[in-house]
Amino acid sequence: MLTAGEVAALIAATGWIVLVCVLTMVLIKLARLLTETARAVSDLTSRMTPLLDDMGVTVSETNRQLVAVEAIARDVKQVSGHAAKLSAVTQTVFTGPLIKVSSIGYGVRRAIEARKQPRGRRRP
């Protein structure tokens, strides 16, 4: 028969064996996880390099297009400035004489109306 101390030692030894087996399984799964993670990182790295190269080309092309758009915007600003100056010149050239012709027309019309009305009924 086994004594109480031997039974306790046997139970402790069995517990340690179970604990070691569980820890071994956990470590094996952890090793698999680390291997898969390393493989995923390696795959991601191999895919990232072309993506970063493409992104660099895209940024360069975008900068080139922005330079072109800036030049176009500068030209549009210059054209709008010329259009504003042309509008001012056109207004000066046409409105002054047009106002004078309109005034002369009004004066002639008033004079004609004044001649047609009898002398006693003239408007002020």
Two tokens, residue 25: 């399984």
Question: The tokens 């080139």 sit on which residue?
Answer: 64
Q: In which residue ranges of the chain is pLDDT below 50?
A: none
Burial 103-123 (b: 16+ CB within 10 A, else e): eeeeeeeeeeeeeeeeeeeee
pLDDT digits (tens, 9 = 90+) for 41-66: 999 989 998 999 999 999 999 999 99
- 2 CB contacts (<8 Å, ≥6 apart)? 10
Looking at residue 21, its pLDDT comes to 96
d(C-alpha 89, C-alpha 103), whole Å: 21
